[in-house]
Chains A and B, each alone.
Chain A
């Protein structure tokens, strides 16, 4: 197993998982979804988590994002240890510190685009930062669609709304769960471009789960998971290098 040297990166850590395990069931039905995973997500870095189905990549993201509980180990977002938090505090943490982009867009059909974008801040009862909001909206190119309801938007536009929603509240970290899974390749490329721009231009931290090497190539770094463990890491990926690594795991999986 190759592990990248972490010490040489000077930037601060936005989220860190240490010895993180997630075990379902007991006895014969016991399934280890995450097996003592340790990983850092650094600020202003775009990380892709890859791996075959059942590798635990989504579970890892859910645990780090405070959406799911874990069995042992620790997860920190900034200075906050998640394991110690109750549901209410976790909810508040997600609201204030974390942004989400889901595969199925997950917009509220009754709200228009702008209302969907500001939803987390409305929940918190905070006024959005107007300037920042404008920047985000301009970046995703939705300025002329703000009054539309989700049903009046295309899939790509809906996901752009979701991206804007995730960025609008200036979270410490944005998590994406297969954000391009339901999009055609052109719309998908757009969305990934926005995510990369948010990292490059706005200094946003982004963690994205994907099974698509092309999507992963937009990231600064790719973390590979298999059988609940981190098996490899790749900096400055291209679609080919990612595909190449994945083929290797596949081959290993078959021969082992």
Chain B
């Protein structure tokens, strides 16, 4: 039996090609994901372990819990504590570490890196073991810095150059006195690292006299644990936490592994979708192979093969196909892993060096997935093969695949679809998070239901296209009729495309609606012409607001200053604003009372007011960071939104109690509104600072739009795989159709249809199938997009459904193009068919 199966595979090489390709792509996706994430994870772990080489024990400040009216804060790691740590018998050396955001500009004045990877820190003493100097000398005082060799190389900086940089707003122009090498993971990933002397770092990062961490190195022969015990004894109880370097590395490794597993799972979901789509092709192919071999299989039965043997022979074929696909897919996957690694390097996010990791698990997964998927998908056709009666071998007529009634199928499909719609609709009436699970369930039910119903839907939907097809004469007419001749096969082919397009459309609708909602929010809650913020949304120095206020053309400014306070024994984050100008800069619809922020009169959003049970006119006591208390009156309650939250308080009241003022952004109103000139003068006034972004509302919405575009494009890219697999399915189905109808095609050629006409016929059939799948996908996608919106809308006032007609038109167009492309090869084959052989063939 095995030999028969193997022969069959070899005999149908060409017809199995698309199946192998489809499974291969899925397997390649899975194994590529595993290879890439494993490799990346191992490289990052190795990298981070290296970063802890010089740390045997890390001492970090303990968190002092908030209590009563006192806000929570960290203990202070002072110089004395560093000295105490260095003085324990087992310590070789103790280093006080300070770090923070440091933007550094390239020679073109633009920020190096993306702002989130621009780090700064302190160089400890004259000879910091963490950062071996490659050139120059250690920085001394405020006017000097050293930078990492990678950044120096990229920006073309050398020792002695003056650079423009910024930590929290004001521009500094220090001289580079040295270049150091480092294993820092952030630098390896494409970020920059700028170092100051310790006092300067502490001052710039707003932590005078305080360290973020103390790294202690053990003397030779002293274990990390011994050193930690000594440190715990020597340092004040409760004020510090101590962790061994090994523990740090382990924690870091675990964190990397867990973030990688998130990435891995995300990618595997998409791989799963492509594989699922691939099963349709496999099932189609084997159904056809069985139908074509009816006589042959019946002969096997007639000469004594049991039903089970016939089924098994089909499954063995599937096994062979699956194995070939798994092997080639695994190889392709390894290729993808390598490719992604170099791609990341090109995209300025280099992966740290490390070996390519193809774990036994990856190999096992590739084989399991490839073989299981193929064999499972071929199982039903295999069962069908077993039901062929031996007498079929004797009948002269070419036995056609029995077309079972679709009644049962349609009933089942209608029930499933109805249930799916009902569950989704019920879910939309539920509360956001509660509705998610039922909505997912309903969506799955509906997709399966529609899939089961596609043969039924194919007739009316394709009939609707006939006025267009009529324009193409006989070719169009024949294409339409051919496409509904085998409704099950057309349905399976179109469904594969439908799944991809459902997901793509659903995401596009939801993302588009969300984007518009957020843009509206950003635009509607802010009246200011410009906002000024750090590129990575770190806090700005209050100096920035002063500078902006004095700029020509600026009529009003207000900071958005974060501060932590205590209200009713709870931690409350409040926003300090300039009470005299804020009403002209923010546009927050008021629910009760008046929007009045002046002195002890404050406003709060509905959520906060409801939480504390306040109404406009109520008073409450607020405890500041420094322990002082103030009796405040709630003047008004504004509508909750995503941009401005909580209590808004006058900076005049907040200021004196706020130890390190942290302005998240500065709102700016100008005399003449927004213009390039105004923006320019603002940027100039801020010293053309690489770390600061001056944005008008359009910039903000562009930025939001860009964020959505990046995410959407990534998802499109991942879903493209499922679409490609579906396209292979269309190719496969057309090739089958051409093969099965070669006699008809030969006759058509004989009675006068030219090659172009034949090609056009196949092409139109392909387009009809593709567009059918696309229309179903678009319909379902919009429905799901709407349903998801119903869950989001209650939590987002500005949310409303945006149906991206232009984009959907584009998808339809793409589906038509896909149809044409998929038909290229089958159409060529059909046109090349030898007429005489085709007519004779029976």
Contacts and interface: CB of A to CB of B under 8 A. Distances in A.
Q: Which of A109, A119, A125, A165 has the most CB of B within 10 A?
A: A119
Interface string B484-500: 01000000000000000
A123 B743 contact: no
Q: Which of B750, B752, B836 has the most CB of A within 10 A?
A: B752
A100 B835 CA distance: 13
Q: Which of B474, B743, B747, B751 has the most CB of A within 10 A?
A: B751
A133 B751 CA distance: 17
Contacts of A108: 478, 744, 747-748
B473 A125 contact: yes
A124 B753 CA distance: 8
Contacts of B751: 94-95, 99-100, 119-120, 123, 165
B750 A123 contact: no
Contacts of B473: 122-123, 125
A120 B752 contact: yes
Q: Which of B473, B755, B839, B842 has the most CB of A within 10 A?
A: B839
Contacts of A146: none
Interface stretch (A36-44, A84-92, A235-243): A84-92
B752 A94 contact: yes
B836 A67 contact: yes
Nearest to B744: A108
Nearest to A182: B842
B583 interface: no
A46 interface: no
Nearest to A107: B747
A106 B481 contact: no
B835 A124 contact: no
A110 interface: yes
A104 B743 contact: yes
Contacts of A104: 743, 839, 842
Contacts, number: 69
B752 A96 contact: yes
A62 interface: yes
B752 A91 contact: yes
Nearest to A111: B481
Interface in A97-118: 99-100, 102, 104, 106, 108-111
B477 to A, nearest CB: 8
B295 interface: no
A178 to B, nearest CB: 11
A67 B482 contact: no
B749 interface: yes
Interface residues of A, number: 27
B743 A87 contact: no
Interface in B464-478: 473-474, 477-478
B754 A106 contact: no
B482 A122 contact: no
B747 A102 contact: yes
B836 A62 contact: yes
B757 interface: yes
Interface in A159-183: 165, 177
A59 to B, nearest CB: 9
A120 B473 CA distance: 12
Interface in B821-837: 835-836
Given A104-B842, A119-B474, A110 B752 contact: no
A189 B485 CA distance: 34
A68 interface: yes
A12 to B, nearest CB: 23
Nearest to A108: B744
A110 B751 CA distance: 17
Contacts of A165: 751
Contact of A92 (B481, B744, B752): B752
Contacts of B836: 62, 67-68
Given A67-B836, A102-B839, A122-B473, A110 B478 contact: yes
Contacts of B744: 106, 108-109
A197 to B, nearest CB: 22
Contacts of B757: 123
Given A106-B743, A106-B839, A110-B481, A87 B754 contact: yes
Interface in B333-384: none
B482 A110 contact: yes
Contacts of B748: 108, 119, 123
A87 B750 CA distance: 11
Contact of B755 (A87, A122, A125): A87
A91 B753 contact: yes
Contacts of B747: 100, 102, 106, 108
A108 to B, nearest CB: 6
Nearest to B749: A91
A14 B757 CA distance: 28
Contacts of B481: 110-111
A165 B747 CA distance: 12
A170 to B, nearest CB: 14
Contact of A91 (B474, B477, B754): B754
A131 B746 CA distance: 30
A105 to B, nearest CB: 9
Given A102-B839, A104-B839, A106-B743, A123 B755 contact: no
A108 B753 CA distance: 13
Contacts of A119: 474, 748, 751
Given A62-B836, A67-B835, A68-B836, A91 B755 contact: yes
Nearest to B477: A122
Nearest to A89: B754
Interface in A58-102: 62, 67-68, 87-88, 91-92, 94-96, 99-100, 102
26 contacts: A62-B836, A87-B754, A91-B749, A91-B753, A91-B755, A92-B752, A94-B750, A94-B751, A95-B753, A100-B747, A100-B750, A100-B751, A102-B839, A106-B747, A106-B750, A106-B839, A108-B478, A108-B744, A109-B485, A110-B481, A111-B481, A122-B477, A123-B473, A123-B748, A123-B751, A125-B473
6 A-B pairs with the lowest CB-CB distances in the bound complex, closest first: A95-B752, A110-B481, A106-B747, A91-B754, A120-B751, A122-B474
